[in-house]
Structure formats: structure tokens, C-alpha cells
Amino acid sequence: MVLYLVKGIMFVLLTGLGVVGNIFILMNYMCFFRSTMKSTYLILIHLAFTNILTLLTGGMPRTISSLGLRNLIDDIACKTVIYLNRVARGLSISTTSLLTVVQAITISPRTSRWRRLQPRSAWNILPLLLFFWILNALISMNLPFYIKNINRMNTSQIISNYNYCYFQSQNWIIRWLFIVLMVLRDAVFQGVMGWASGYMVFLLHKHHQQVLYLQTSKLLYKTPPEMKAAQSVLLLMLCFLSFYWTDCFMALYMTFSLEKHFIEVSALEFVDLGYAILSPFLLIHRDGHLTKCWPAHIQIGCHLHYKIQKNKET
């Protein structure tokens, strides 16, 4: 009982920390987007929203379950929460892949043929984001038909336990069809992500050689913000892949394990939310403008408040 209480408290703290971090990213990049209209800012806004959805649908129900409040989650809540969580996981890999590609195109040389693919406007990204929502919604559309609340299930019907909901057995053809679609989706987006990141590493290496040449020639050279942004995107991509493959290997181990221990199950649940929790703080650490944005907002807000008060007095 004590272990479940500690687990619930940790889920509350980590989920809350992740939600606050992603809201901070969301608000700041919305501020930047209004002034610069960059495609990468729109993608980062969508990624932050996706992370918030992942944390709310993945962290809060597990917190409720760990604290022994499973009765608060009924059958409809089970279907909705797990379906949205699966969609959010698909959106996470799709959005991270798109961010990597757009950043690779952005730093490519002007004479490169890849530069022709650069979006003319940030709004050209919206159809892709809408396509990601439709794609991931369709790939996960089988879940609501087979997810049941824990209180309504027989033990013989259970094939997967979500602590608060159960995945009922289904037709094996339908099951493998959607599994193949999920694997194919992840393979395609990770392949695109790998190509784009490899291309960025190549361009960053060329840039590094150029910087070394200029430094030996005693010429001043300032690193372009696009190159710094590319380094941040690469770090974000490595963070995603680390959590993704750790989650895959741990899930496979748990699937074929005869006994499922509390610590192993808990570790898998925390890894499942790791990227959504850690990614906003990587962006905050890498982008110095984010830490300066809120003080600027406060200063502008105070200045406007002062002017309003002064007009009232006059």
C-alpha cells in the first residue's frame, strides 16, 4: 500500500512538472510565432500540446489508480483516456519527425534541391498536422471497441492490464492488422527522422570546419541561430529515440516475463511518459530566449497596467 502511495505521489509530481514545462513552452513559442511566423515554432507549439495530452491521458489515470481511486474511472473514461493516449503517442513521433525534417531543410544550402521543399509559410504546415491527427486517429480506432473498465471484466477475458482498464481479447486478424499499421507508421517516421538527422549532422560538421578555418584565420564568426536550433532539434530527437526504444525493450521484456514485479511495471510506466516530461526542459535549457520571455511579458504587462491606472486618474 505504501509503495502504491509513493508511486501515486511521484506520478503527481512528475506529471505536474511536465505539464507546467510544456505550458511554458506552448505560451512562449506562441509569443514568438506571432512575431516571426516560423514553421518550427508552429511545430514546437503542436509538440508541446501533444506532450500535455500525453501527460494528462497517461499520467493522471495512473495516479488515480495508484492512489486506489479506480472507481472514479468508468467504462467511457477508460475508452476515451486510452484512445487519446495512443493517438498522442503517435502524434509525438509524427511531430518530432516533422520538426527534424523542417529544421534540416531550413539549414540546407540555398543551392540545395532540398531547400525547394521549405514551406513558404508556416500555415503550409497545418495540413500536415491535420493529416497526422487523422492518421493516428484511424490507426487507433480499434481501441474503444475492446477497452473495458476493470470492474466489468472477467479474468479469463483479460489480455492486457492498464491498472485501471483492461484490453479485451479481439479477433486476431484485426489485432495484427492494427499492430502492423502501428509498426509501419513508427518505422516510416523514424526512417525519415534518421535521414534528416544524418543530413543535419553532415551540415553541422561542415559548419564546424568552417568555424575552425575562420578562427585560425583570426576572423570573427558568429554561429547562426539556425545552426543552434538544429543542435537543439538533434538533442530533442535523441531524447525521443532513447525513451522510445527503452520503452519498446522494456515492454517486450514484460510481455515475455512470467512474473510482473511492481518495480518493473512502475519503471515502464515512468519511461512511457519520460519524453513528454523531459523534452520541454531540454528546449528551455537550449534556447536562452525562453528564459527571457516571461520577464519581458511581466514588464510589458506592468507598463500597460500603469498606463491604464494613469488614464483613470486623469
pLDDT of residue 36: 78
Confidence of residue 138 (pLDDT cuts 50, 70, 90): very high
In this structure, of 56-60, 82-86, 228-232, 307-311, the range with the lowest mean pLDDT score is: 307-311
Give me the chain's average pLDDT, please: 79
Which domains are assigned to the chain? 2-313 (1.20.1070.10)
Rounded to the nearest 5°, which phi and psi values hold at 15?
-65, -45
* Stretch 71-76: mean pLDDT: 73
The answer on pLDDT for 269 being more than 70 is yes
* Stretch 35-45: mean pLDDT: 87
Q: How confident is the model over 222-265, as pLDDT tens digits?
A: 666 677 788 888 899 999 999 999 999 988 888 777 777 778 88
Q: What pTM did the predictor assign?
A: 0.84
